[in-house]
Amino acid sequence: MSTKIKVMDRTTLKMPVGATYKNYTMLVAIANYSTNTVCVGNAKLILDEDVDVERKKQVLWGMGGFMRAICIEDFAGAWRRADGSNREALLEALTNNEIEL
């Protein structure tokens, strides 16, 4: 398993327009705990500080419903669209108090 991503302070984030700190914490949960490799890769790309915000915006518009929900909606919207692996990832992060609701 790869190194776990630590949640950063909300003032240092470079996220696409519409994404909040709550979205950021859900992205970290998917990157850290999901076994859905496509979602993990997309979450890591959005979280990557070396990728500029414009590129993140382009990628966001091509993502499926679950990843768009993780990036710009609330927890309930993401939960409704999640597959089993991603629900388990969100539950793990909730259990570890790593998601801001």
**Whole-prediction pTM value?**
0.85
Residue 101: CA count within 13 A, CB half-sphere: 11
> pLDDT tens per residue, the chain (101 residues)?
466 777 666 656 666 667 788 999 999 999 999 999 999 999 999 988 888 888 888 888 888 899 999 998 999 999 999 999 999 999 999 999 999 98
Do 81 and 89 touch, CB atoms closer than 8 A? Answer: no
Do 17 and 57 touch, CB atoms closer than 8 A? Answer: yes
User: First-to-last CA distance in the chain?
Assistant: 27
CA dihedral 11, 66, 77, 31 (to 10 degrees): -40
